[in-house]
Amino acid sequence: MSMRKCNAVAIMGTRPEGIKIAPVISALRERSDEINTIVISTAQHRQMLDQVLSLFQITPDIDLNVMQPDQTLSNLTAQVIEVIEVTLQKLHPDLLLVQGDTTTAFASSLAAFYRKVPIAHIEAGLRSYDIYNPFPEEANRKLTSVLADIHFAPTSLAAKNLIKEAVPRSKIVITGNTVVDSLKIFLNTPFNIDSSPLAKIPFDNYRVMLVTSHRRESWGEELKNICLALRDLTDRFHDLLVVYPVHMNPNVRKVVMSSLEGVERVHLIEPIDYLTFINLMQRSYIILTDSGGIQEEAPSLNKPLFVLRKLTERPEAFDRGLAKVIGTSTVDIVTSATELLSNFEAYKKMSQGDNPYGDGLASTRIAEAICRWWRGAHPLLESAQEFSTTRPGINYESINHWPESTT
């Protein structure tokens, strides 16, 4: 008599969650003989999440649509807990998969805990050790770790963080980060720039600085400082072109538009789909961001990265000299960027090296570990199968440059 399938629920609410959990859903569906995968969206980021899922050809089985105008974190958390608990009561899943550090991930985990549903946490173990940076993500991920039964740590450092918090090593699998899986998939996807939102940007003969900044701890004066730095840098370097996809949040748009709209060689564009964004990253010379996912993607593309935060929970690339935390001071941003724009040797040092965050196989490892967990096998994954930066991964040399246009 064959064992029944594992009913696994994968839940997401934001665009970063979608990018990182979508390849896991695809990998689980390839194991459909063992796993029945149900996809739930809270639609915390409605439009941006839908764009990502359409790329992966994933349609949520259940769309909860929890977001309301001007919703506070408390309101959102309470609503997610309530609707997820009711949903889990109807589905009776064997496992809940959550990704990262969002309100959706934490609140869903708490609802699952109340229903005594085992939780698998993808991208577990990241720590800044400052409860308010990033906010509220640092608290979300730590609280989720307390509730989780399986911890999919992207790196050995993340695994060590969990072990220090008394998580048994037997419950931890070092997988690599699934964002590298998504990046690998879409680097090989044809892209026609002439029919994209990038069509009107004059990339030729310019060095492109890609900028993203939207985190709530940077709202207000911090974001104004970033904008002043961009104005200063375009004044200093006449071959510099800034491209800034501006987040939809009114707290971001008001400051950015009032500070940078109409500035020469600064292109403020609407948020773009993931495939277009990957192409934009590849065309960039330098990336400035406060995003976690971009910190993990840039090393795969050999792009020097400056992080517009006070600290990071992803220090692996910084330890290797591939990225630098520079904060939001206008002077510090201008000084750091000027060094790289003026000194090619310094630039080369920050643009060479393998990605310490993943090798494109994280989703396969996660699917295998879940199947082994369901069968009651130990360990969840053999150590030789876990992600290690000492083992060869993807060869990015062959995909270091995009064609100008493909159809």
Q: Which of 29, 207, 216, 320 is catalytic?
A: 216
β-strand pairing of 323-325 with 305-307? parallel
378 is catalytic: no
Spot the catalytic one: 137, 222, 296, 316. 137
Which among 94, 123, 138, 359 is annotated as catalytic? 123
Report the C-alpha gap between 84 and 102 in whole angstroms: 15
- Mean pLDDT over 71-75 rounds to 89
- pLDDT tens, 266-282? 999 998 989 999 999 99
Q: Which of 34, 94, 101, 181 is catalytic?
A: 101
Helices assigned H by DSSP within 148-262: 156-164, 178-187, 221-236, 250-260
The three-point CA angle 93-97-100 to 5° equals 155
Q: 216 pLDDT band (50/70/90 cuts)?
A: low
Residue 396 clears pLDDT 80, i.e. is over it: no
Place of tokens 């959990």: 21
Question: Where do we find the tokens 């308010």?
Answer: 132
Q: Per-residue b/e over 26-39, b at no fewer than 16 CB within 10 Å?
A: bbbeebeebbbbbb
Question: CA 80 to CA 60: how far, in whole Å?
Answer: 16
For residue 176, give Cα distances in angstroms to 93, 238, 354, 355, 363. 26, 39, 13, 10, 9
Residue 163 has pLDDT above 80, yes or no: yes
Q: How confident is the model at residue 292 (pLDDT cuts 50, 70, 90)?
A: confident
Decide: residue 263, CB within 10 A, 0-12 exposed, 13-18 middle, 19+ buried. middle
pLDDT, tens only, 15-70: 889 999 999 999 999 999 999 999 999 876 666 778 888 888 999 999 998 877 77
216 is catalytic: yes
Active site residue 247: yes
pLDDT of residue 407: 26
Nearest partner of 314 among 268, 355, 264, 374, judged by Cα: 355
Whose tokens are 């009651």? That residue is 376
Q: Which residue has the higher pLDDT, 213 or 337?
A: 337
Catalytic residue among 15, 31, 46, 214: 214
Within 13 Å and on the Cβ side, how many CA atoms surround 16? 19
Residue owning tokens 């985990």: 109
What pLDDT, on a 0 to 100 scale, did the predictor assign at position 252? 86
Is 214 an annotated catalytic residue?
yes
pLDDT digits (tens, 9 = 90+) for 185-201: 898 889 999 999 999 99
CA nearest neighbour of 300 among 389, 240, 203: 389
How many Cβ atoms sit within 10 Å of the Cβ of residue 286? 24
Instruction: Choose, from 247, 265, 283, 365, the residue flagged as catalytic.
Output: 247
Domains detected in the chain: 6-176+361-376 (3.40.50.2000), 194-349 (3.40.50.2000)
Indicate if the pLDDT at residue 89 is higher than 50: yes
pTM score: 0.88
Between CA 253 and CA 228 the distance in angstroms is: 15
CA dist., res. 68 & res. 47, Å (int): 14
Omega before 134 within 30 of 0, i.e. cis: yes
User: DSSP letter at 96?
Assistant: E
